[in-house]
Each structure stands twice: as C-alpha cells, then as structure tokens.
C-alpha cells in the first residue's frame, strides 16, 4: 500500500506540474493551452540534446531548456492566441489553434528525434534508496519537492506580489487594467514565459520516469488538464492539490481493479470531482472579485 501511495505522489506531482503551468496561462487569458503537454515534451527532448548528447550537467541543461521552451511558449502565444484579440471567451479559434500547434510540435519532434523513446538520467543517484521500507529513486523525492516549491512560488507570486495583482487584474478586466497603466501584453507574456519554463522543468522531471519521446505526454497531458480542473482553474494551490489527489486516488484504485482500467478510473475520478464541485477544490474566486 505504501509503495502505491508513494508512486501516486510521484505521478500526482507530475500531474500537478502540468496543472500549475496550465493555470498560470488561464490566470491571464482565461483559456487553456492545449499545446502544453507538447511544450513539456519539448522540454524533455531538449534535455536529451543538452544533457544526454552534449554532456551538460542536468541543472545547467534544465536552465537552458527553460529559456528555450519559454521562447517557444511566447511564439505560441503570438501565433495561436494573440490573433484572436482580447475577447477570447467569445471565440473558439484559440482552441483549434493550440490543439493544432500541439500536433505540429509533436510531428516536428518526430521528424527531428524519431519516434522511439530514450532513457533520460534522473536527478540524483540512479541507485534505489529505502524510505520507510519502500525502495524508491531519489529522483521521485526531487519531483515531489520541486513541484511543491513551484506551487509555493506561484502562490506567492499571485497572492503576495504586485505582479500577481497585475496578473489577476488582467484576467478580470483588460480595459480597466490598461486604464490603470498596466501593460496587459507584458502580463500575458510573463505568464507564458513562466508556463514555458515550468513545462521544461516538468519535461526534465517526467523523462526519467516515462522515457523521453514525442509521445511521452500523450496521456499524462490530459490528466494534467483534469488535475487543474479538479483543483480549480486559476488556483496554484488547487493545481497542486488536484494533481496529488488524482495521482494518489488513481494509484490506490489499482488495489481494486486491474491496471488495464487505470485511465478509465482516472477520468471517472475527474468526472466525479467536477460533478460534486464544479468550481474545483479551491475555486477561482479572485477572477470575479478584482
């Protein structure tokens, strides 16, 4: 049982990482970036080039990949979301555009790196360590810790800083925000930059577990969206809690059903959570209040 809980926490951290980055985009634009899973994948593939092929230390490679994926995220904004203007909720064009961009990213990755998954070095030692009688990789602890730190970072930025207030203002009313002298464009770009950087970190953390390849986020990308919705879109605490909850419940359910039904169980949990609390665990109250 303890093994499953720890595995659930690791998977939950991965879902939470995806959900956190999805949330930060939602915070300013009110949309969901459906190409986010592919940005995570690009983070992993850049990791292969920088760490595995070029021999850079993992941390150095991670910082460079953060910059690269952030640039791609900004390009994604200008090419798929900006053209639809301020009133994004009245158009579904961005939905198709981000979905399409995700497919393009995946196909380009296949062209460059092929389709076969590749091993990726974990953070810390490759030797298993014993924690409470359970053998785990140090990388799994790092994944949980880094996800927790990123969740705290986003919570502090959004709740305790001027930047956070400006982001919330942008989410609430763009015209009023402009009248207050805040550059809406800069706020959106800041969020896409942060989202891209977190996607790269997620790519580095996920790759040792799932192996790096163009299809690596095909299923977990969807679960990341689910985690964001369960936790409450727009809330960093919610994204973290939603991800962890989904990961642990999914793992525990495996004691009752065969792993072949794992995805069905995960999506059932999502549907139940949304039915019981449609606004998510932590809701999105600030968007309406600012």
Binding site for another protein (CB under 8 A): 3-4, 7, 10-11, 14, 110-119, 126, 128, 134-137, 209-211, 213, 215, 218-220, 251, 254, 258-260, 262-263
Angle at which helices 220-231 and 262-276 pack, to 10 degrees? 20
CB of 9 to another protein, least distance (A): 11
Q: 136 — phi, psi (to 5°)? A: -135, 165
Q: How many CB atoms lie under 10 A from the CB of residue 176? A: 12
Q: CB of 4: closest distance to another protein in angstroms?
A: 7
Comparing CB distances to another protein, the nearer of 142 and 153 is 142
- Our CB check for another protein shows the closer of 25 and 248 to be 248
Q: Give min distance, CB of 145 to another protein, in A.
A: 19
> For 89, which DSSP code?
G
Q: How far is the CB of 246 from another protein (least distance, A)?
A: 12
Tracing tokens 């994604």 back to the chain, one arrives at: 76
213: closest CA among 40, 25, 10? 40
Give the span between the Cα atoms of 90 and 196, in whole angstroms.
Answer: 25
Task: Please identify, using beta-carbon distances, which residue of 111 and 176 lies nearer to another protein.
Answer: 111
Closest to another protein by CB, 214 or 238: 214
- Minimum distance from CB of 46 to another protein (Å)? 15
Cα 184 to Cα 78: distance, rounded to the nearest angstrom? 14
Nearest distance, CB of residue 38 and another protein, angstroms: 16
Among 202, 227, 207, which residue's Cα sits nearest to residue 150? 202
User: 196 exposed, middle or buried (CB, 10 Å; 0-12, 13-18, 19+)?
Assistant: buried
Burial (CB count <10 Å: 0-12, 13-18, 19+), residue 161: exposed
Comparison of 3 and 185: residue with beta carbon closer to another protein: 3
Closer to another protein by Cβ: residue 224 or 232: 224
CA distance 4 to 262: 13
């Amino acid at each position: 049982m303890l093994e499953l809980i720890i595995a659930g926490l690791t998977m939950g951290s991965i879902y939470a990482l995806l959900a956190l980055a999805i949330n930060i985009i939602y915070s300013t634009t009110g949309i969901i970036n459906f190409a986010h899973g592919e940005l995570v994948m690009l983070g992993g593939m850049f990791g292969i080039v920088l760490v595995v092929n070029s021999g850079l230390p993992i941390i150095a490679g991670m910082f460079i990949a953060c910059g690269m994926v952030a640039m791609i995220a900004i390009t994604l904004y200008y090419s798929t979301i900006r053209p639809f203007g301020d009133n994004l909720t009245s158009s579904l064009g961005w939905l198709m555009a981000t979905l399409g961009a995700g497919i393009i990213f995946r196909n380009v990755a296949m062209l460059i790196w092929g389709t076969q998954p590749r091993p990726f070095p974990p953070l810390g030692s490759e030797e298993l360590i014993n924690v409470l009688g359970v053998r785990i990789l140090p990388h799994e602890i790092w994944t949980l810790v880094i996800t927790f730190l990123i969740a705290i970072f986003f919570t502090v930025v959004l709740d305790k800083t001027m930047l956070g207030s400006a982001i919330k203002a942008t989410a609430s009313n763009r015209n009023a925000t402009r009248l207050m002298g805040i550059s809406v464009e800069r706020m959106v770009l800041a969020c896409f930059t942060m989202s891209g950087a977190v996607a790269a970190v997620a790519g580095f953390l996920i790759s040792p577990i799932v192996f790096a390849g163009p299809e690596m986020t095909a299923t977990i990308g969807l679960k990341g969206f689910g985690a964001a919705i369960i936790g409450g879109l727009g809330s960093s605490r919610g994204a973290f809690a939603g991800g962890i909850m989904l990961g642990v419940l999914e793992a525990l359910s495996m004691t009752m059903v065969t792993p072949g039904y794992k995805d069905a169980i995960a999506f059932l949990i999502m549907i139940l959570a949304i039915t019981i609390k449609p606004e998510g665990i932590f809701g999105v109250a600030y968007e309406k209040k600012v």
